[in-house]
Amino acid sequence: MNLLEAVEAGTRRYNETETAHERSREAVTASVLAALQGGERPADVAAKSPFTGNYVRKLAREAGMPESPVRGPKPRAGSGVSRLLEAVEAGTRRYKQTEAAHEESREAVTASVLAALRGGERPTDVAERSPFTGTYVRKLAREAGVPEYLLRRYPKARAELEARLPRWREAAKAIGELGIGLDDDEYVGGVLWYGLTHRGSEGSPEEQKRVITDRLVRWATRDGGDAAQAAGAVRSVLDDFLPGR
C-alpha cells in the first residue's frame, strides 16, 4: 500500500465511523425526546444523556414540547430508573462508543495524511483522497512542520535546478546555516527551483531572488519571528549565488 492508498483507506474508515456516530446521535436524540414526551424531567433526561441540560431543553422546544411543570420525583420500580431513561442511557453508551471510534479514525487518517505529505505527495492530491479540505491539509502540514517538497513532486525539477544552479546544494547549506529554521536542504532546493523557473522571473535575477526570499521567509516565520531580518539574511546568501546580470 502506497502513501495515497493509505490515506484512502483511512478516509473510508473515517467515513464509516462518522456515519455510525451520526446514526447514534440521531438514535439517542430520539430517546431523549421520547423520555421528555413521556413526562421525564429535562434535568433527569440530561443526566442520562450525552447532552447538556440547555441542549435537551432546546431539543424539546424545537420539537414543540411545552415546558413541563416542576414535579417531584416519579416513583420507580426495580432499579429506580424508568424504561424511558434506560433507553436514553443505552443510547448514550452507543453514542460514546461511536464517538471514540470516530475520534480514533480521525487521528489515524490525520497520521496517514501527514505521512503522505512527508513523503512528498502534493497537498492537493492528499486532500482529494482525505476527508479534509485542501486548506485544512495545508494547516496540518504547517502545524507539523512539513514543508512542500517541490523537488520530489515535479519530475523535471531536480534536473532543471542542477542545470540552472549547479551550486544549489551550497546555497541551500548556506541558507540552512542562517539559523532561522531553513535547514532542510530538500525543501530549500525546491524553493530555489521554484524561484528560478517562476513565470516572469526567468532572466531576471532580482525577480528570482524576490520570489525565493518571499517563499522562504513565509515558511521561516510561520510561527512568528522578524520577517524583515529573515529576508535580509536570505537575500545576502542569494546575492552570493545569484549575482545580478
Q: What is the average per-residue pLDDT within 34-40?
A: 94
Q: Look at residue 72 and tell me whether its pLDDT is greater than 50.
A: no
For residues 98 and 20, the answer to whether their CB atoms sit within 8 Å is yes
What pTM did the predictor assign?
A: 0.72
Q: Look at residue 240 and tell me whether its pLDDT is greater than 50.
A: yes
Domain ranges (residues) in the chain:
3-144, 150-241
Determine the pLDDT at residue 199.
84
Please report where in the chains the cell 487521528 appears, as a residue.
107
pLDDT tens string 106-157:
999 999 999 999 888 888 899 999 999 999 998 999 889 888 888 888 889 9
Determine the pLDDT at residue 68.
59
Long-range contacts of residues 34-40, Cβ cutoff 8 Å, at least 24 apart: 34/84, 34/87, 35/82, 35/84, 35/85, 35/87, 35/88, 36/60, 36/63, 36/65, 36/68, 37/65, 38/82, 38/84, 39/68, 39/74, 40/74, 40/82, 40/84, 40/85
In the three-class reduction of DSSP (H, G, I as helix; E, B as strand; rest coil), residue 185 is classed as: helix
**% of residues, the chain, pLDDT over 70:** 93
In Å, the largest CA–CA distance within the chain is: 93
